[in-house]
Amino acid sequence: MEPRATLGLRTLLLSLAVFSTGSSENDRDFKLCGIWRHGLGPLSLSYRLTPGCSNITVSANESALSLVGRITARCRSSGVVTLAHSGSGWAKQADFCVYWEPLLDQLWVQVGGQNHTLCWPDGLQGPCCTDLSMGPNQPVETYGILNASIRGDPASAGTRRAYTFFGEVINCKEEFCDDASKGSSQVNMIEEAVMRSQAVGSVELPCALTAVVELKDDLRGYNVTLPVPRGFSPESIPFVHLPPSLKPADKKTAKVVCTFFRNTSLFQDAPKDIRILEDVVGITVENEVITNLIEPVRIGFHHTAIPETHSRKCVSWDTRRDPLKVNWKEDGCWTLRKGAEETECQCNHLTYFAIMVRLEPRPVRHLLALTAITSLGCAVSAISCVALIIFLSRKRRVKEQSIPIHLGLAVSLVSLNVLFFFTGTLANMAGPALCPYVGAGLHYALLSSFTWMGIEVFHTFWLVYMVFSPSPKSYVWNLIGFGLPAVPVIVLMSVGNIYGVREVFQSDDISNPYLMCWMSSSPQAELAHYLTNVAALALLVSSGLVMLFLVYREIRTRDEWRQNRVAFLSIWGLSCLFGTSWGLGFLDFGPLTDLVLFLSCILNSFQGFFLMLRFYLLDRMRRRAGGSVLGGSSSSGGSTRQHMLQAQEKPEHGSMGR
């Protein structure tokens, strides 16, 4: 080969070596392969390996394949192995590969399909010799190494007598941990490396601590003692109990690797309202996939105190679903809480285990009592609203403008109460299949109720301050009250991942949440909740309070309002119509929480009943007074504000009579 071509090839190979330097994957997996061209005589494999980090030379001649060098951490190995002939013709040849794993201090040679281990695995190494870069090429010979490749990359097409590689000292454990931390899918590299290292007992890595035990036939259960990191007390380290059924029946012994992680950044792929606690324990049996154990594996975790308001559950990493992503699941594990600072996990399979703490939503106190009150209130309100609809429908012949508005509010409240009454049952029966549609319907009914309450606010303002101007037609109100709320619901359904099963946690039993069809717990659903429900509620409550003040200021001096019962019933009824009771939700904090929850639950769930009661009492009082049969409207013949507000209709009619 011409000198210029030889120099170019050498430069290329050196560039490949430079680019591979610092890559822990290549550092742990050096491989030189080629074809050994040999003669017809006896063949042998000779080697002389000593600790250090200078160079290793792989050479070949007519009768011997040789490895000589100082690259091992602890291994001292030398000898000669007799090899059998292979091939035919005047020039014999055999395929061979040299493998070097500095992390395990392991070196072996494969020649003619036979493996020859020259340095057995001797634990995971700290300082080790790696980053092997190739030295100058040897001249072309008749016998030697043909078509050599380094880590699969071609090195030379000619037959070379020898290849020399120079190494550098690095901390293999740190490099290995850096590579394992590049992604959650690489974490199992730790167990695989420890399993291959032939180590028994404690193995310490910068990123994990490992205990290796051997299970034998007489196993009656085994308590694993995990290594204790520096600066930690033994009481803070998780304990692991291995059941007898863990050892495969067809094996006399089985090696188990228990790995303890304190760097949980590898496992934090979880929603924002969920946190994985500090400790993660992985359990692996050599060459086995363990599931459906008769007696569960027990892992005890010691952690900082977890408040009663936060739920905690034992979870395991489901590697079958997507190996490239951490998927925490609760299946196959049972949680046993042993106080605020200790949790025991009992699992019927092997993988990585941890404690998952749900930070939000906040568990609700007295959930069973609140649920019972809400169910009763929704049932009573639905029946009351149906009665109110019948009552208002019979009075439509009076031609009062407020009747269609009251009817719209009653219809929307019927839908809201019926859907809310059955949402828990539907969530448990139909689950994810039906809940998105039920949740969307419930959201529409809620927004429609808010819209009709807003219409009541606006219409009352019209009656009080726009005496001589007719209010909009009933079809306008129907279009706004029933059509406008459908717009955001349709948009959110098209976005997806908004409606579904929602879990409501109770403080008495966090592990058994109440299910309902509503908005899901996804970030998109939370944003939609604030943009639609909270915004509409804030607008409704603020406008309702302002309207109550304006109405009271306008009519407080009238003679009719001096009757306390009328004044009380009117203000109370208007507050129901205007939805101001929903504003109690903004007072849910501190010592007021329980009181506000119960008041809000009672007032809002019984809202339909209160409305019906208000209309019935006012109508009865006005019948006795000989006035209009229905309050809260204006007739087509003139100003009749007294129907809702006990206004001054008599003087107006008197003036018209004159």
How far is residue 617's CA from residue 388's CA, in Å, rounded to a whole number?
12
Query: In what helix (H) or strand (E) does residue 286 lie, and over which residues does it extend?
Result: none
- With a CB cutoff of 8 Å and minimum separation 6, the contacts of 345 are 298, 299, 300, 301, 314, 333, 334, 335, 336, 353, 355
Mean pLDDT, residues 572-577 taken together: 56
Kindly indicate the confidence band of residue 445, based on its pLDDT and cuts at 50, 70 and 90: very high
Phi, psi of 192 (to 5 degrees): -65, -45
How far is residue 440's CA from residue 445's CA, in Å, rounded to a whole number?
9
pLDDT digits (tens, 9 = 90+) for 322-381: 555 667 788 889 988 888 888 999 998 888 888 888 765 566 677 778 888 888 988 998
How far is residue 280's CA from residue 210's CA, in Å, rounded to a whole number?
12
Q: Kindly state the tokens that stand for 159.
A: 């037959």
Kindly indicate the confidence band of residue 239, based on its pLDDT and cuts at 50, 70 and 90: confident
Cα separations in angstroms, 178 against 172, 211, 259, 263, 268? 10, 21, 17, 12, 17
Flag the least confident range among 62-76, 218-232, 455-469, 644-658: 644-658
Tell whether the model's pLDDT for residue 255 goes beyond 80.
yes
Mean pLDDT, residues 124-134 taken together: 86
Mean pLDDT, residues 636-648 taken together: 37
Mean pLDDT, residues 43-53 taken together: 93
Tell whether the model's pLDDT for residue 490 goes beyond 90.
yes
Domains for the chain: give ranges and CATH numbers. 3-174 (no CATH), 184-358 (2.60.220.50), 367-657 (1.20.1070.10)
Mean pLDDT, residues 488-499 taken together: 91
pLDDT digits (tens, 9 = 90+) for 274-308: 778 878 888 888 878 888 888 899 999 988 887 76
Phi, psi of 6 (to 5 degrees): -60, -40
Helix %, strand %, coil % of the chain (to 5): 40, 30, 30
Mean pLDDT, residues 471-493 taken together: 89
Segments in 430-534 forming alpha helices (H):
435-465, 474-478, 486-495, 523-528
Is residue 636 within 8 A of residue 591, CB to CB? The reply is no
Tell whether the model's pLDDT for residue 546 goes beyond 60.
yes
- With a CB cutoff of 8 Å and minimum separation 6, the contacts of 433 are none
Is the pTM higher than 0.85?
Answer: no
Is residue 50 within 8 A of residue 56, CB to CB? The reply is no
Secondary structure (3-state) at 594? helix
Tell whether the model's pLDDT for residue 263 goes beyond 90.
no
pLDDT digits (tens, 9 = 90+) for 401-425: 778 888 998 999 999 989 988 888 8
How far is residue 303's CA from residue 92's CA, in Å, rounded to a whole number?
66
How far is residue 644's CA from residue 647's CA, in Å, rounded to a whole number?
8
Tell whether the model's pLDDT for residue 313 goes beyond 70.
yes
Q: What is the mean pLDDT of the chain?
A: 76
Kindly indicate the confidence band of residue 429, based on its pLDDT and cuts at 50, 70 and 90: confident
Tell whether the model's pLDDT for residue 644 goes beyond 90.
no
Share of the chain above pLDDT 90, in %: 16
Tell whether the model's pLDDT for residue 3 goes beyond 50.
no
Does 473 or 239 have the greater pLDDT score? 239
Does 299 or 399 have the greater pLDDT score? 299
Nearest to 267 by CA among 334, 208, 212, 204: 208
Cα separations in angstroms, 510 against 308, 312, 315, 507? 9, 8, 15, 6
Nearest to 288 by CA among 206, 152, 191: 191
Mean pLDDT, residues 233-259 taken together: 81
How far is residue 611's CA from residue 377's CA, in Å, rounded to a whole number?
13
Tell whether the model's pLDDT for residue 486 goes beyond 90.
yes
Tell whether the model's pLDDT for residue 596 goes beyond 80.
no
DSSP states of 51-81: ESSSEEEEEE-SSEEEEEEEEESS--EEEEE
pLDDT at 213: 84
pLDDT at 396: 65
